[in-house]
Amino acid sequence: MLRRIYQTLFFAAALMAAGCSDPPPPITVDEGMVTVHNQTEQDWKDVLITVNDHYRGFVKELKAEGRMNAPVSQMTTGHGQRWTQGTGVRKVHVKAAHADGTPVELTWDAATQRRRN
């Protein structure tokens, strides 16, 4: 009986800790992958991801609360140049519009991320 009470208390504490944690950032960069998380309740349309000011990726729609993974190796410049393997991601800019036309802009900067950690 006492064991069951401890298990229940432990489970409740774990749930409370998970509920109090910070939400994930809207943009993450890890091992050549840019992940964009739409943390709003509206779909985004015409989502443009720009990495290091030159390399771009595009997706027509990102659903509300949806997540998109974009490998930087698939991104190209306006002149068709492909991502060079081994290049570090310094900056990510995401531009889109909510379904109602309201603009969405997000920015991730490697220098800022290092200072936060």
Look at residue 115 in the predicted model and tell me its pLDDT.
43
Does residue 80 belong to any structural domain of this protein?
yes
44: which residues sit within 8 A by CB, 6+ positions away? 38, 61, 62, 96, 97, 98, 99, 104
**Domain containing residue 78: CATH number:** 2.60.40.2890
Does residue 111 belong to any structural domain of this protein?
yes
Quote the domain boundaries for residue 35. 24-116
Look at residue 23 in the predicted model and tell me its pLDDT.
77
C-alpha span between 110 and 80 (Å, rounded): 25
Which regions in the chain score pLDDT beneath 50? 115-117
Look at residue 116 in the predicted model and tell me its pLDDT.
45
Give residue-wise pLDDT tens across range 68-97. Answer: 999 999 999 989 999 988 889 999 999 999
